[in-house]
Chains A and B, each alone.
Chain A
Amino acid sequence: MATVDYRQRLKPRFAALGIIVVGILGVLLVRLWTMQVLFGETFAAQAEDNRIHEIPLDAARGRILDRKGRPLVTNRAALAVTVEPGAKDDRPLVDDLSALLGIPADEIEERLSSVREAALKPRVVAVDVPMRVVAYLEENSERFPGVEAAVVAVRDYPGGSTAAHVLGYTGEISERELVQADLTGYRLGDTVGKSGAERQFETVLQGDRGYRRIEVDARGRPKGVIEEIEPVPGRDVRLTIDLDVQEVAEKALADALEEARAQRFPKAKAGAVVAMDVRSGEVLAMASAPTYDPGLFLGGISSREWKRLNDEGSEYPLNNRAIMAAYPPASTFKLVTGAAALDAGIASEWTTYRCSGKWSGMGEQWSKYCWNRSGHGSVSFRRGIQDSCDTVFYEIGYAFYKRGEEEIQEVARRFGYGAPTGVDLPGEVGGRVPDAAWKKKFNENYPEAAVWVPGDTVNMAIGQGDMLATPLQLAVSYAAIANGGEVLRPRVLDAVLDVDGKAALQGERRVERDLKLSRGRIGVLRRGLRDVTTGGTAAAVFRGFGTTVEGKTGTAEVNKKDDYALFVGYAPAENPRYVVAAVVEQGGHGGSVAGPAARSVLGKLLGLSTERVHATDVSR
């Protein structure tokens, strides 16, 4: 039969069709097994990512308060203009915006092409936009596609530039900062503290970001909120800074600069004043000139503005000179040299020296002069401090050189020189205590200048040469004399506050080192310092002050610059509480420029007059 014939003959072909069919289903099965069973979790995660968008909810940044709880930095809502990043290719739009906002077009383009923000996030191009600009934008919205007015939270500085250097400023996190250990978990576009307390206490001020997790469809349209985690606002930080003292310090510094310029020192533009509690190390005021307005950084600083702030011609206003600038301490360092001399037994209170105005102890060809060319005559050690007689300290320096040990350096380091004080602010420099090893390394390529010579020690003895110190180091070292020998770690943190305003974390008094000077020797030094303000180089400054001050003037010679004026002192002498250090770059003499500034600040601290005094000092 034909049918049977076909069937028999075609059987292998049906089998082949069957094998193909089973093969197809098998291939699909294997593929599905790998996708669903082997890699199911990977795909499940992708499906979740698809479905859920996280909208970060920024936490309110903590405030920064002064020691009495007065706000130094708070937050406020500001009207801002945001622009979609794609708009940067729309030249007419950028030009229109430029005209409307009064921002150069390239400035706007720069903001829009910043890679520092999430790719599609609208960029803030201007904050504190006038209401009429917002109204104009809204009326002409079709002319400004992708441009929106928004309310954003920004930092508010009730005091303007007051304490700007201590407070610091905030800005968008940079890519470099993103990898820093204490900033893990931050994202592009986040605001972080860039300097000062804003940077130092960043992790406390920041708070915890919240999230709103929303389910979205394929077009990104929200379908519902899955969960919401409230942001936890940042903690408030209370500083040891006293706003009233700070204001006086800034005013005193500004006055000192003005005074200096009036006194034939026209280049006086920069300086610093620090006030500290000698018993606790709390910094009560820290002023640096020139200053800047942290508000400039709101909504991103323009590159032009940034350039200006980092330019030599503007004297680098962002620098906090109290901790970032190191100056020759000049005669203020005689305290340290004196302490070393007493400690080494080279001098005592009444050891007598002969000052003819010219000192040739190292040989005639190496003669040096006292600031008082006519000579102080016969001076005691104590008198040497009072009148800041260079000859006395040349002698001491030379004696130390001949002893062969670097004893002045050793004592200077005990006082806290040559290393950062450890103050809780970023960017502090350590100054410099020069010694033979340092000189060798520093002049590696100039072997003829690499050898430590007697003049080095002699120069150092009067705080000149290569010796450098920050104003804060000066304050800390004098505080150590004032408090009987404790070298404290200065600090600006009083407390981190809880939501209820209670202190969650308290700044702690910390003794870094002890001067290891006997009470008697400290007493000699203190009497010398007291003589300075009562009958010495700063006598005119503190005349009629109301309480006794112990301190030292200094006038630093700086290569190719006018003299720098310095004063460090503490009061009241009977029971010292506050130390103030003042440095005025190219301001002339310590007694005439820096001293009066210190007097005003001490006056404020002690509840005395803060009146500006005029004094003339020609010492160094």
Chain B
Amino acid sequence: MRREGIGRIRARANLPLLLVVTGLTVYGTVVVRSATSGMPGADGMIGRHVLGLAIGLVPLLVAWALDYQKLKGWIGPLAVLNALLIISPRIPGLGDTAKGATSWLQVAGFRLFQPSEPAKLITIVIMAAVISGFKGRIEQPRDVLRVLAHLAVPLTLILMQPDLGTGLVFVAITLGMLLVGGLRPRWFLVFALVGVLVTGVVLKAGLLEDYQEDRLLVFVDPARDPLGAGYNLAQSKIAIGSGGISGKGLYSGTQGNLNFLPERHTDFVFAVLGEELGFLGVVGLLALYLGLLVVSLEVATSSRDLFGALIAAGLISMWAFQILENVGMTVGIMPITGIPLPFISFGSSFMVTNLAGTGMLLSVWARRYGA
């Protein structure tokens, strides 16, 4: 079926999705601008943020144009690429260590990107290919193990960096895709039990460094690390709470501007938003996220095949988990792990990933009627 002109574009473009993503990126840019104001090199930072947006448009358009179904045939090379990407920071001369994790790819002193970011998307594609093979019924333990085996490689490599937060994103993505892909509910119970057990063993056995443990548990017990993670959490809560209903106004947040908030343009950018724009601003953001996820869900349900639906489900899981984790950590209901807020946080790698993911949704949407 061929369409011409405007009608064709309308058929291939999901306007609500584009609007929501535009809204989120504009909102994010405004908040990052406020969060970075007063920081050394503020002008350069907002420039880099906008540059990240611009760069992200390229993978968005490429993914949109590309027939996602063709990806199914590249699973093998993609899996290898995925592993290589995640390992790359470990290669001498290519990696950069920040906050304890060797997760940046760096060439000649220039930080290029965090390979774990594109790896999220590649993993989604691989998982979608594997899970769609079961045609909506994942019942045999063998099938489950096959899926988990495909998760194991990237997850292990990520955890070795070590980057627990990103690792949890991979787990969340897989769980979401398994949910949509037809895993029997009893398996989720098994996963939940295993998850609790593993967490318990890891904490009891002291496998984590003290600071890691502190960050994970400080939201339950703020006195754990009052000057480190506990301080960050306390200041973040003060910032958000003090925003009240309508906020202190853009650029007027005292918590952020006086450096009480750590990582205020990246992981804790939501605290700046909460302080300066208040409950109304927060509701606005959550409404945009609700829009993003509902539209994505519509793309998933309207996909002409299970592969496309699973890609959408993977993206939804990724975003939903990152929103929960990032906002949840700033308000003290989730452990503190360094996960950025989708479309909002400063940081090009993740922005590019989000935009590329948007392109993938558009690709699925554009081909919903196709053969």
- Residue on A with the closest CB to B178? A13
Known: A11-B301, A28-B286, A41-B244. A17 touches B180 (CB 8 A): yes
Q: Judging by beta carbons under 8 Å apart, are B260 and A33 in contact?
A: no
Q: Judging by beta carbons under 8 Å apart, are B179 and A28 in contact?
A: no
Complex interface bits, B316-356 against A, C-beta within 8 A gives 1, otherwise 0: 11001001100110010100000000000000000000000
Interface-lining segment among B100-108, B116-124, B152-160, B304-312: B304-312
Known: A24-B323, A36-B279, A218-B260. A13 touches B244 (CB 8 A): no
CA distance A39 to B323 in the complex (A): 23
* Residues on B with beta carbons closer than 8 Å to the beta carbon of A20: 176, 320
Tell me the minimal C-beta distance from A27 to chain B in angstroms.
Answer: 7
B313 within 8 A of A: yes
Q: Judging by beta carbons under 8 Å apart, are A17 and B176 in contact?
A: yes
* Residues on A with beta carbons closer than 8 Å to the beta carbon of B115: none
B14 within 8 A of A: no
Q: Which of A21, A31, A36, A217 contacts B278 (CB 8 A)?
A: A36
Tell me the minimal C-beta distance from A561 to chain B in angstroms.
Answer: 63
B52 within 8 A of A: no
Known: A11-B301, A17-B297, A50-B260. A28 touches B327 (CB 8 A): yes
Q: Judging by beta carbons under 8 Å apart, are A17 and B254 in contact?
A: no
Complex interface bits, A40-73 against B, C-beta within 8 A gives 1, otherwise 0: 1111101110110000000000000000000000
Known: A35-B237, A37-B279. A21 touches B254 (CB 8 A): no
Tell me the minimal C-beta distance from B252 to chain A in angstroms.
Answer: 11
CA distance A22 to B180 in the complex (A): 16
B85 within 8 A of A: no
* Residues on B with beta carbons closer than 8 Å to the beta carbon of A44: 241-242, 244
* Residues on B with beta carbons closer than 8 Å to the beta carbon of A216: 258
Tell me the minimal C-beta distance from A10 to chain B in angstroms.
Answer: 6
Q: Judging by beta carbons under 8 Å apart, are B320 and A21 in contact?
A: yes
Tell me the minimal C-beta distance from A606 to chain B in angstroms.
Answer: 71
A304 within 8 A of B: no
- Residue on B with the closest CB to A42? B241
Complex interface bits, B255-266 against A, C-beta within 8 A gives 1, otherwise 0: 100111000000
- Residue on A with the closest CB to B278? A36
Known: A14-B300, A24-B323, A218-B259. A29 touches B286 (CB 8 A): yes
Q: Which of A9, A21, A35, A43 contacts B316 (CB 8 A)?
A: A21
B208 within 8 A of A: no
- Residue on B with the closest CB to A219? B259
B135 within 8 A of A: yes
Q: Judging by beta carbons under 8 Å apart, are B244 and A7 in contact?
A: no
A501 within 8 A of B: no
Q: Judging by beta carbons under 8 Å apart, are A9 and B136 in contact?
A: yes
Q: Which of A10, A27, A29, A223 contacts B182 (CB 8 A)?
A: A10
A3 within 8 A of B: yes
* Residues on B with beta carbons closer than 8 Å to the beta carbon of A21: 290, 293-294, 297, 316, 320
CA distance A67 to B335 in the complex (A): 72
Q: Judging by beta carbons under 8 Å apart, are A50 and B238 in contact?
A: yes
- Which chain B residues (162-185) contact chain A, with CB distance < 8 Å? 176, 179-180, 182
* Residues on B with beta carbons closer than 8 Å to the beta carbon of A17: 176, 179-180, 297, 300, 313, 316-317
CA distance A9 to B179 in the complex (A): 13
- Which chain B residues (212-240) contact chain A, with CB distance < 8 Å? 235, 237-240
A16 within 8 A of B: yes
* Residues on A with beta carbons closer than 8 Å to the beta carbon of B320: 20-21, 24
Known: A18-B297, A21-B316, A218-B259. A47 touches B182 (CB 8 A): no
- Residue on B with the closest CB to A5? B136
* Residues on A with beta carbons closer than 8 Å to the beta carbon of B126: none
B63 within 8 A of A: no
Q: Judging by beta carbons under 8 Å apart, are A10 and B136 in contact?
A: yes
B274 within 8 A of A: yes
- Which chain A residues (198-249) contact chain B, with CB distance < 8 Å? 215-219, 223
* Residues on A with beta carbons closer than 8 Å to the beta carbon of B294: 18, 21
* Residues on B with beta carbons closer than 8 Å to the beta carbon of A39: 241
Q: Judging by beta carbons under 8 Å apart, are A217 and B258 in contact?
A: yes
Q: Judging by beta carbons under 8 Å apart, are A16 and B238 in contact?
A: no
B245 within 8 A of A: yes
Residue among A3, A33, A39 with the highest chain B CB neighbour number at 10 A? A3
* Residues on A with beta carbons closer than 8 Å to the beta carbon of B278: 36
A6 within 8 A of B: yes
Residue among A7, A21, A51, A218 with the highest chain B CB neighbour number at 10 A? A21
CA distance A27 to B320 in the complex (A): 12
* Residues on B with beta carbons closer than 8 Å to the beta carbon of A10: 136, 180, 182, 306, 309
CA distance A304 to B308 in the complex (A): 87
Q: Which of B176, B241, B258, B328 contacts A43 (CB 8 A)?
A: B241
Q: Judging by beta carbons under 8 Å apart, are B245 and A37 in contact?
A: yes
Tell me the minimal C-beta distance from A124 to chain B in angstroms.
Answer: 29
Known: A13-B180, A36-B278. A43 touches B323 (CB 8 A): no
Q: Judging by beta carbons under 8 Å apart, are A217 and B259 in contact?
A: yes
CA distance A293 to B176 in the complex (A): 83
B282 within 8 A of A: yes
Residue among B182, B323, B327 with the highest chain A CB neighbour number at 10 A? B327
* Residues on A with beta carbons closer than 8 Å to the beta carbon of B237: 35, 43
Q: Judging by beta carbons under 8 Å apart, are A40 and B258 in contact?
A: no
Q: Judging by beta carbons under 8 Å apart, are B240 and A43 in contact?
A: yes
CA distance A96 to B367 in the complex (A): 84
A25 within 8 A of B: yes
Please name 19 further chain A to chain B contacts, defined as beta carbons within 8 Å, in addition to the given A13-B179, A43-B237, A43-B242, sorted by A numbering.
Answer: A3-B304, A3-B306, A6-B306, A10-B309, A14-B309, A14-B313, A20-B320, A24-B320, A27-B328, A32-B274, A36-B241, A36-B278, A39-B241, A43-B238, A44-B241, A46-B242, A47-B275, A51-B258, A223-B258
The 9 closest A-B pairs by CB, nearest first: A43-B241, A40-B244, A47-B242, A44-B242, A36-B279, A43-B242, A218-B259, A217-B258, A35-B241
CB-defined A-B contacts under 8 Å, sample of 24: A3-B305, A10-B136, A11-B301, A14-B313, A17-B180, A17-B313, A17-B317, A21-B320, A28-B328, A29-B282, A31-B328, A32-B240, A32-B282, A36-B241, A36-B279, A40-B245, A40-B279, A42-B241, A44-B242, A46-B241, A50-B235, A51-B255, A215-B258, A218-B260
